[in-house]
Structures are given as structure tokens and as C-alpha cells.
Structure 1
Amino acid sequence: MSAALRIRRRVVPPHGPWVSTHPVLQRIYAARGACDEAAAELRLARLHAPDSLGGLDAATGLLADAIENDRHIVVVGDFDCDGATGTAAAVLGLRALGARRVSYRIPHRVEHGYGLSPALVEDLAALAPDLLLTVDNGIACLAGVAAARARGWQVVVSDHHLPGPALPEADAIVNPNAPGCGFPSKCVAGVGVVFYLLLALRRVLHGRGRFAGPPPDLAELLDLVAVGTVADLVRLDYNNRVLVAAGLRRLREGRCRPGLRALAEVAGRPLALLSATDIAFALAPRLNAAGRLEDMSVGVECLLATDPDHARQLAAVLDGINGERRALQQQMVDEADALAAAVALDAGALPPALCLYDPGWHPGVVGLVASKLKERLHRPVIAFAPVEPGSDALRGSARSIPGFHIRDALAAVDARCPGLIPRFGGHAMAAGLSLPQAALPALAEAFIGHAQETLDAALLQRELESDGPLDPQDFCRELAELLRAAGPWGQGFPEPVFDNEFEVLDVRELGGGRHLRLRLRLPGSPVTVTGLRFGWDGTMPPGRVRAAFQLDTDDYRDRRDIQLLLRHIEPA
């Protein structure tokens, strides 16, 4: 079951002409808001300065004092890729800036729940911290922050999530989305926030005369910043694209953490050709799998490893966990498909939003289930699982579509039904929540009701945005390589997709009928090209088709050719 799809071509505003950029790239950049060469040129010198981040003075003062007085700093991260890379960046950055007593802890998804919780504070007591630095969490951890401060610990919150109506009573809060913060890039990831915090801390310590020579080069952390930013699916505004592009350069040149090199190796992705897409679909899932099924500390240790052999061992462990995650995810997605089909059958039609639950689901994988169902059905989806087997406490993960702010939707439900949702937080496109099992029917009714009241029917039409057709001469290796190197592509700055009409010359099934290999020809042209359709749904229009596709390189057996990754096929 999947929502009907239509191809919509992007509007290209006036632009150029540019001197040194391929005309197709000019068109692509302009359609994404980069209408001149300056907007497309990604330079670290053009990053937003840290100064406008609220709370920096208090945060850097506390951290600088802790370093100078040899206090114990404990970094508290999150169990996703953004949290893991942010934790590693914080630990490495603080040590580079002179901190001698730095530890970290990642909460366990089942034992502690999300972020700096009271349960985690209880366990942290054994470390005897003086100061806690949260990374990618904290803004919603009111009880945990209060528990930590009650023990006499200082708490610096660095986070990027949207705050609720009340802020934690931390000693300092650094969050671009906190009230009154004037930082221009509101979509910076958690790892990006802590990177900015470290930049500001370096300036404070330099002003205090802490460095005998030149200050430490924090650009060495940009590989971690790139991976965490891409993995968290934050919008790639100009500032984030600069950060990701700089990190990708370090990765491609081999100037990266041994753990990231090892993860690329086990994923079969050559470092020299690494792209943001490779991060999103190869590196990040292997790191995320540890936090979903096991303990994210394995992922952080891989990122912190200095010995290449040790890094490879940890990367192999992560690769194995990711294999388990994929098998479990497929099982859960199949079950979710069946549940959604049953809902549609009972109601006579698919509702504008879905709440799905199975007592056998794993809480670490429900986010992936919600994401897959959201993509197929083009509706907001919340998937729930027991916090642990047999528990009456549920953990939910929500994913949304453009035009429906999922965290605001949960806030609206919370306002309408006070006390129904004990805890929630997130962004426009993704959110998480906790819920007693007994409250699930009421939550589902209120959430779907809110969607019915606020979701315009037009938003439920699944669209694939296209950058238009390619001319015959553009089906070439040169453009395919330019597109790979021209990113970084990602959320808010999507990878180019084109659409053309083709004559189908040949069709072959691959992977036991799950995929297709097509030989296609441009009408009225001698140009023929191979197209690959992954996740084939069993239908194939005969003869002439209109296809939406990505232009990709084909290096199988060193053939140095091109291929089309077919995103959609319909009759011409």
C-alpha cells in the first residue's frame, strides 16, 4: 500500500549566468535558492560567528573555570548519531582545550530514557562530576537538570531541540531555538551547537592566556560535525552546508577520525568519493544501530578510537548490530503495513494520520517504522512500542510530512487533553513521546482529530519534485561526477532528480524480482542508458514511459559508465 505520486517540476528563479558552473548545476542551485555563485560557494570564512548564540558567556565561563581548576566534566550525550558525534566532538574538543578530567555517558534507551533523566543522574553519581555538559539534549530535561543541581553539580545545556513552555533551571543554556536567541541558523544540529560552543570556549581560554602557542585547531572536529549534521536530517541551510562540505573534504582527503574511516570501510564506501548520501545511508545507520538495539557507547568509542585496528574492530561490531537492526526493521515495517491496511479497511479510507502499536515491537526501531510508513503513505505517523517487553509504558516516535509540524501537533493535543502525554519533544518533521498504554486510544483519537482539522487535503498528495529534463548531451559521466561532488545534498537542499520520457528496450528482474534493470533510450536520439529500479512494486508500464531519476556513476567492474537510479516510472 502506498500513496499515489505525481511529479512536480521545481520553479527555477532568474539566475546567472555563472562563469565556471555547468548550466545544469546553475539550474539546480537556483531552484534551491542559491541564485548566484556567492550563494553556491561554501567557505568556512562565511560561517555565522558564535557571538549571537544566547548563553555563550555563561557557558564558556563555567567551562573555562572547570578546565582551569581541574574539575571533572561529564558530557551527557544522546543515543542517536547526532548525539554520538556531538559527544565525541565535545570530549575531543575539551581535551584539546586543556581539560584533563573529561568523561562521558550516553543514557540507555530502556534503563534511563531520553537525555539527562533523574535515573541517569542517579547512575552518574558514581562518577562524582563537578559539571555536566549535555549534548543534543537537555532543553526538555527539567527533572534531570533539577536532580543534578540538587546534588551540587553545575549543568550546562547545549541542545538544538525546540523548548517547551518551561526551560530547565540550568546554569547555562546554549540553544539556537531558545527564547531570545539571535543566532541566524535555527536548524544547526546538536553536534553543530557543541562545535560552536567549543569555538567560543577556545576564544575565552585564549584570552586568559591558557595556550603557550597557537590555539588548538578545532577544524579537526569537522568530520564529526558533518556526519552528525547529515544524520540528524536538519535542514541544510547555507551555514550547515558549509559545515558539512568542510567535513566531507576532510573525510575525502583521509584527514578524519580512524573510526569514521573504519565505518566507511565496512560499508564499502571509498573515502575519496564519499558524499552526504553515503553518510546518510551507510555511516549514520551503523552508528545509529548501536543506540537503537544496544548501547551507543560502542559508537562513541569507535569515534574516539585512535588506533586504526581498534577502530576496525568496533566498526565491525557496529556493522553486525546494523545487520540485526535491518532484519528487525523489515519485520516491523511489514507488520506496520498490515496494521495500516486494516485501519484503512475498517474506516473505509486511510485517515490523514496514523497511530500504530504492536506489543512485540522494539522501542529503538519505531522511529524507522514511522519514517518508512510516512514515506509510503505520505501521512504523519506515530509508531509505539513498549519501553521493554511486557511494560505498560510506551515509547512513541513520530514522523511528519511538509506542512504539518509534528511537535506543534503534539503540543496542540497536550493543550486539548492536559496530562494525556507525560513527555514529548522534537522538531517540525520528527518528535518523540512517552505514554501509558491505557492512554493510547485517547491519544490516537486526539492526534488523528487534530490532523483532520488542520491538514489540507492537498498536503496529502505525494509529490516528487523534479529538476526537469536532461538534454541528450547531459547523459554523461562528466555531469554525473559533477553532481556527486556539487553537494552536499540533504534535507532542504535535496539531491537532484530529473524526469524524461524514454523508450523501454529491455527489462530484467534482479534480486529475486525485488528490483529491475532496464535498458532505456531517449526518443529521437541514439542515447541509451541503464536504469535501476530498487524496491519494485510489481507493475511496469510497457513501451514508452516517463521516469524520474537520479544521474549516477556506474563503476562496476571499472566500467566508468553512468546509470539512472529510477525513483518513479509511469506511462508516458
Structure 2
Amino acid sequence: MSRQAPTIRRRESVVGEGWPSTVPPLLRRIYAGRGAHDLASAQPKLAQLLPPDGLSNIDAATALLADAIASGERILVVGDFDCDGATACAVAVRGLRMLGARDIVHAVPNRVTHGYGLSPALVESLAHLSPSLLVTVDHGIACHAGIRAAKALGWRVLVTDHHLPGDALPGADAIVNPNQPGDTFPSKVLAGVGVIFYVLMALRARLRGQGDTRAAEADLGSLLDLVAVGTVADLVPLDANNRALVSAGLRRLRSRRGCTGLQALIEISGREAARLTAADIGFAIGPRINAAGRLEDMAIGIECLLSDDAAHARELADTLHQINAERRAVQQSMLDDAEAAVARRTPVEPAGAGVCLFDADWHPGVVGLVASKMKDMLHRPVIAFAPAEPDSEQLRGSARSIPGLHIRDVLAAVDVAHPQLIERFGGHAMAAGLTLQRDRFDAFAAAFGEAVDRMLDPALLRAELLTDGALRGEEFDIVHAAHLRDAGPWGQGFPEPLFDGEFAVVDWKIVGSRHLKLTLRLDGHPRPLSAIHFGGWREIAPSARERVVYRLAPDDYRGGDAVQLVVEHREALAIA
């Protein structure tokens, strides 16, 4: 099995009337290609946010919180060990304090010690805190045993989550999850941090209705920087509602009004706050927060997001930066192992479209990144497994899927057909997690392959690159590059603009060990164009003429009015 060469297809876009003159024709075309046919749908504002009252159980949830606040009871917020869970925890703690909570504590499971979510082991370790109300953020919908353990201690439990539920809901006092049965909230793609932000909005409205002056003054908008980071990092689709949240959060970060911890992370990652984009969150900020949960303890990441002391936040950001560097080294080693295993077609991969990978030396906190990279390379659904801890007989797997295959449904189908294989699973359409015993790996890999072959349309196994067509010669300038950068937020479901065209390769050189710096020329364009293809060196020199899929971006290294093409894909063309 080898790297897939994608089919390049151009989006169809029909640009309507009524656009203001401030939106250039190029952006109108790009927005139309994503289904946004007017300024309101292209650049949604906070005023367009969906109201919280569409969320099931929102009244019961806010009643639990309002009662706990009024009584001065202890509230325990339990987060998750990824960026969405960390930002959700910080939003919950900061927001509840704004709304009058006087006794609020937080915790997060350790990936190795407790496993995912609210487990009985985590509840036992938190028993000394004796909260009256436990609030889960970004998890809980699958934590039946942990919730039973918490209820047995006399705690009330509020679950806020966005993951897909199983056949039965846990026995919490209230559950807020747009994906639970019967929920009528129009957007099903809120991240975990978005769900708790909505709960806080509804709680503020309840308290204001009761005449609470603190609630009347509470500025929940100050939490939108955290909402933006968690939403982008969790790769949920950026529908209009999520884009409104992320846009508002980016405005706070660009104006340097973000929380102290995020400002420290922006600085240490080498990004410029004034020009921060969703891509910067996805590639620089989110990974540094995520790294804590992958290799160390997400408590470090949450502490950074909750700190209001600049020196302390900078120290924590530096720690996260170092952990992330370690994560990248571990990830590259594991990716090298995975690529070698696939190239050898060893028994890690049964016949069929579904790919399962396992190595006894892999780290459980990084398997999701390996699965994602291998999924992109092979254009196949991939599950990567590692021992839950060194020498453990339990494996933890992380699954990533391709468009058109709901990976959690695949795992559910395997569980129904082979009830003893999987110990636990959960997730989304495109990503999921599971645990199983090591001696059942081969049987699971075979069952997974069979399920994928049965449920996946073979036509979907051909990778496809959707582009926004070609740029005209006059559009290769800093004005259009800046418009493209600032017109988002771009992300899942609202992809960053990609263009394609045929270019002559005037010059090229290897940068580092894996990247290609290219000088390209477009027919009829007077000036050569600078391009960079990260990871583009594969021991084969570029052809004299190539079809290139690229993004147009300001060249921050050269500055001024310089632009560059950021290459996503190249393929050789025959010389006429």
C-alpha cells in the first residue's frame, strides 16, 4: 500500500448579487463555493448565534448550577485531556466564577492512570474534594460507571458533552449535549467548549431573570478566545454558528485581549497576535496545549489557561512548548515505524480498506496523530494502537476516518457482530477511540477490515482535492493574499482556499531535509513566484513543468508586499 495521488477537482460556485463593494470578487467566488451567498452567511456575527433554549435539559442544567451557586456549595469541574477539554474546563471555571460561584475546583484525568473521561478510578481519587455538584466538560456521555460512582457518593452530576451517545444515556441529573436523542438544537457540531459556553449563557440569563446583579455585569464574551481555540483545535465543522464564535475569539486574540495564558502561548510559538488565524491555532497553539495531555498531565495546560499572572503563564507556556517538542520527536519516530510497517505489508494490516497499526513501543498519547497522518497518506480509515501503559495487556486505539465513512458507526457494527472484542469505544463521525485487550488485536483488525469493506463505498477510496480553480495573474499580490488570510475563519467544513494551476519550475532547492523551496512561473505573468512545499522532498527532483495545488499567503519572512505559494500537492506535466 502506497501514498495516494489525489484527483484534483474544482468547486462549482455561482456568485449572486447583493455583495458590498468591500468584498472583492475573488472572495465572493470562494464564499459561494462554500455555500455562503451573502455577507451574513459568509461572515456571521455574534448577534446571529443560535439561542441556548434549543438545547435539551438546559433549564435543568442551569437550575443545578444556580442552586449550587446560591447555596455556596462546592462545584467540581472535570475536564478532558485534549485541547477542547482543557479550554472547556478553563471556560467553566472562569465563567462560573464570573457568575458568583465561590467554591469551585477542577480536575482532569491522567491518560495513563485514569483513562478517558470520568472513570470510577478518577472519582475515587477526587472523593476527598467532596463536591455537591460535579460538572463534566467535553466528556461524560459514555461515562456510565464513573457517573454511578459519583452518584453513590451523594454528588449531583451535570454532563456537558458533544460526543455521540451510545444506546443508553448515563444516569446524570442533567445532560446537555446537542447530539443526544430528541435534542432540537439546530447545530450538532458544537465543540465541548462550545457546549459549556452555551450553558453559561443560559445560566447568566436565568440569574439575570432572578435579579442577580453580578450576572447582569458578567462579560462572558471575554471567554471567547478560549472558545475559539478549543473549537478550532477539536476539528469540528465550522458551520455559521461556530464561525461566529471563532471569529469573535480571534478578534480578542488579535487585539491582545486574550487570557494571559493564550497570549503567552502565542508569543512562545512565534506567531504575531495581530495577524493570528485559525490555522495558527490549529498548528501552533492547540498542539502545545494538547501536548500536555498526550505526554504529561493536562493539568499543566489548564493551569496555563487559568493563570492571570504573566510571569507564571509564560513559565507554563515554556513548559508546554518543551513538551510539544518532545511530542513531535515521538510522533515522527512513530510515523516512521508506521510507514515502514505499511510499506512491508506486515500482519499489522489485514486485507481490505481498513488499516490497523500497532507497535508495543508506541505512546498512547500520540496514536491519534499517527492515525491522522496515515489516514491522509493512504486515504484509508486508520486505527493506531499502543499499550495503555508500558507492558500493559490493554491497548488504546485512536481511529481516523475519510469522508463518507462514519467511524463510530463502524466500531458499533464491530461491537454488535463481535461483542467480546472491544472493551469501550466512543467518538464522532471522523474520529473515535477504543480500548481492547492485546491478545484480541488480530481478531479486531480482521473484524474492522470486514466492517469497513461492507460499509464503505469503494469509490470513496480515491482521494480528492477540491480547489477554487485558478488565480488570475493580477491576483498574485499582497492585497489578495491578505484578504484570503483574514476572510475566514477557515477550517473543517469551511476549508481554507486552495487554488490550482500549471507552472514552469524555474528553480528549486531542498530546505532542511524534507522541504522544497521553488521558483515558479505562470504563463503570461511577468514575475517569478516564490513557493514552499513543506514535506515535499521525496528524493525526486521536480519536473520542468508541474500542476500545483497551493494556497496564496503573505510571505512574512520576506515582509513588505511579498507573497508566496504554500504548496499542498504537485504533479508532473508532460512537456509539449
1:338-357 equivalence runs, <5 A: 338-343=340-345, 351-357=352-358
Name the aligned partner's letter for residue 69 of structure 2.
Answer: I
For the 8 Å contact 2:554–2:561, the answer to whether it is kept is: yes
Q: Could you tell me how far apart the structure 2 residues matched to 1:279 and 1:401 are?
A: 23
Name the aligned partner's letter for residue 461 of structure 1.
Answer: R
| Cα deviation 1:221-242 (Å, max 9, x = unaligned) | 0000000000000000000000
Please say if 1:552 is aligned against 2:573: no
For the 8 Å contact 1:344–1:351, the answer to whether it is kept is: no
Q: Which residue of 1 aligns with 2:499?
A: 498
Q: Which residue of 1 aligns with 2:428?
A: 427
Q: Could you tell me how far apart the structure 2 residues matched to 1:276 and 1:146 are?
A: 39
Q: Secondary structure at the match of 2:416?
A: helix
Q: Could you tell me how far apart the structure 2 residues matched to 1:337 and 1:360 are?
A: 15
Q: Give the Å deviation of 1:38.
A: 2.2
| Cα deviation 1:162-215 (Å, max 9, x = unaligned) | 000010000000000011010011000000000000000111111222226833
Name the aligned partner's letter for residue 217 of structure 2.
Answer: P
Q: Which residue of 1 aligns with 2:544?
A: 543
Q: Give the Å deviation of 1:100.
A: 0.4
For the 8 Å contact 2:341–2:348, the answer to whether it is kept is: no
Q: Which residue of 2 aligns with 1:437?
A: 438
For the 8 Å contact 2:98–2:214, the answer to whether it is kept is: no
Q: Which residue of 1 aligns with 2:67?
A: 65
Q: Could you tell me how far apart the structure 1 residues matched to 2:291 and 2:368 are?
A: 12
Q: Which residue of 2 aligns with 1:138?
A: 140
Q: Could you tell me how far apart the structure 2 residues matched to 1:494 and 1:169 are?
A: 38
User: If the length of structure 2 is used for normalisation, what is the TM-score?
Assistant: 0.97
| Cα deviation 1:73-114 (Å, max 9, x = unaligned) | 000110000000000000000000000000000000011111
Q: Which residue of 1 aligns with 2:107?
A: 105
Name the aligned partner's letter for residue 395 of structure 2.
Answer: L
Q: Could you tell me how far apart the structure 2 residues matched to 1:330 and 1:383 are?
A: 14
Q: Could you tell me how far apart the structure 2 residues matched to 1:308 and 1:278 are?
A: 21
Structure 1 residues 153 and 212: alpha-carbon distance in aligned structure 2, compared to 1, 3 A threshold? closer
Q: Give the Å deviation of 1:422.
A: 1.3
For the 8 Å contact 1:202–1:215, the answer to whether it is kept is: no
**4+ aligned runs moved over 4 Å, structure 1:** 344-347
Q: Which residue of 2 aligns with 1:230?
A: 232
Q: Give the Å deviation of 1:8.
A: 1.1
| Cα deviation 1:396-454 (Å, max 9, x = unaligned) | 00000000100000001111111321110000000000101111111111100111122
For the 8 Å contact 1:145–1:155, the answer to whether it is kept is: yes
Q: Could you tell me how far apart the structure 1 residues matched to 2:483 and 2:283 are?
A: 20
For the 8 Å contact 1:206–1:215, the answer to whether it is kept is: no
Q: Which residue of 2 aligns with 1:457?
A: 458
Q: Secondary structure at the match of 1:558?
A: coil
Name the aligned partner's letter for residue 526 of structure 2.
Answer: P
Q: Could you tell me how far apart the structure 1 residues matched to 2:18 and 2:202 are?
A: 39
Q: Could you tell me how far apart the structure 1 residues matched to 2:90 and 2:479 are?
A: 37
Structure 1 residues 99 and 345: alpha-carbon distance in aligned structure 2, compared to 1, 3 A threshold? closer
For the 8 Å contact 1:343–1:350, the answer to whether it is kept is: no
Structure 1 residues 440 and 344: alpha-carbon distance in aligned structure 2, compared to 1, 3 A threshold? closer
For the 8 Å contact 2:348–2:358, the answer to whether it is kept is: no
Structure 1 residues 212 and 427: alpha-carbon distance in aligned structure 2, compared to 1, 3 A threshold? closer
For the 8 Å contact 1:16–1:26, the answer to whether it is kept is: no
What runs of 5+ residues in structure 1 fail to find an aligned partner?
Answer: none
Q: Give the Å deviation of 1:560.
A: 3.4
Q: Which residue of 1 aligns with 2:20?
A: 19
Q: Which residue of 2 aligns with 1:264?
A: 266
For the 8 Å contact 2:100–2:215, the answer to whether it is kept is: no
Higher mean displacement: 369-378 or 548-557: 548-557
Q: Give the Å deviation of 1:540.
A: 3.7
> What do you get for the CA RMSD once the two structures are aligned?
1.4
Q: Which residue of 1 aligns with 2:481?
A: 480
Please say if 1:284 is aligned against 2:286: yes
For the 8 Å contact 1:472–1:527, the answer to whether it is kept is: no
For the 8 Å contact 2:82–2:289, the answer to whether it is kept is: yes
For the 8 Å contact 2:98–2:215, the answer to whether it is kept is: no
User: If the length of structure 1 is used for normalisation, what is the TM-score?
Assistant: 0.98
What runs of 5+ residues in structure 2 fail to find an aligned partner?
Answer: none
Q: Could you tell me how far apart the structure 2 residues matched to 1:213 and 1:11 are?
A: 47
Q: Which residue of 2 aligns with 1:197?
A: 199
In the comparison of the two structures, how many residue pairs are matched?
570
Name the aligned partner's letter for residue 505 of structure 2.
Answer: V
Q: Give the Å deviation of 1:345.
A: 9.3
Identity %: 58
Name the aligned partner's letter for residue 19 of structure 1.
Answer: P
Name the aligned partner's letter for residue 359 of structure 2.
Answer: D
Q: Could you tell me how far apart the structure 2 residues matched to 1:212 and 1:56 are?
A: 21
